[in-house]
Amino acid sequence: MNIEYAEYYSEASDSVARFADTLADCHFDEVNQAVEVFALQALAICRDNCRAISILLRQGLFAEPIIISRSLFELFFAIHWILEATTTEEKLERAYQLEATPYHEFAKEVRLIEENFRGPDPRWSAQKVKEFRAVIEKIKNDSPFLLHMSKRNQLEFKKAPALADRMTPNERLRFYQVYRFASFFTHPTPSLKQVYLKQTGTDQSIPDLMQEPLKQTLAYTMFFVQNVCWHCVRIFESYNSHQAPVRDECHTNLRILLDKTNKGYFRTGPPAPSPS
């Protein structure tokens, strides 16, 4: 099974790479074309993560591909959320929020460090606090589109809604259990004791126990990769239009790979811009 799915994911990586190559000579403005910039990053992440899954499967590993699937889940629902907006301005704003969220969290940590530094037992040096603050201020000066006026009447980094809040009720019911399952493997949890401690009452090896859950997770993950690619077909349809047949071919190949990995686990339906 591992070799079969490793081949599927290697081919998926190659298809996404070919898609990305059709845009190699395009240069996008990070402010006015933030959606395109986000989509280019999404293609690169899909390409590399599919390659990583293929390599890990060839090594007989099962938990690591599942962990990677979580990031591809998040990636799909990020780009899907952007494109669900009804206007260009709303799409840009959502892309800004997603980009700004890590800076929002970083700025929050810097404020905590500053509070600690002013206390009786500082854990950070004055120089390091100064460096952190300089980084924050530089990002704010360079990227004002990532800022908004907070309730405290201060310019702060924007923040996207939580992942679950960016999903429709139907999407959450259909897919969120995949994310929950993948999250089990990021740290020890009693839910996995039957796998790692073999408390199953059988003589099956850990890889044997994980065959079916792994296949289902990889099928859903291919679904997310294919739909990221479909969104990118829409986003880049007016760029290098002579390359459109190549991009369509890459997406079609991902659809074929999805059919091979799915094995009846879920209904995919015709190509569509969302998994609803």
Amino acid at 248: D
Nearest Cα to 76, choosing from 104, 26, 38, 48? 38
Amino acid at 200: T
Amino acid at 130: K
239 vs 25, 203, 217, 224, 230, CA distance in Å? 10, 56, 33, 23, 15
Residues β-bridged to residue 155? 149
Residue 272 pLDDT class (50, 70, 90 cuts): very low
What span, in angstroms and rounded, lies between the C-alpha atoms of 67 and 46? Answer: 14
pLDDT of residue 271: 39
The overall pTM is greater than 0.85: yes
Nearest Cα to 161, choosing from 224, 70, 85, 98? 98
What span, in angstroms and rounded, lies between the C-alpha atoms of 183 and 192? Answer: 11
pLDDT of residue 1: 63
Predicted confidence (pLDDT) at residue 198 exceeds the cutoff of 70 = no
3-class secondary-structure state, position 150: coil
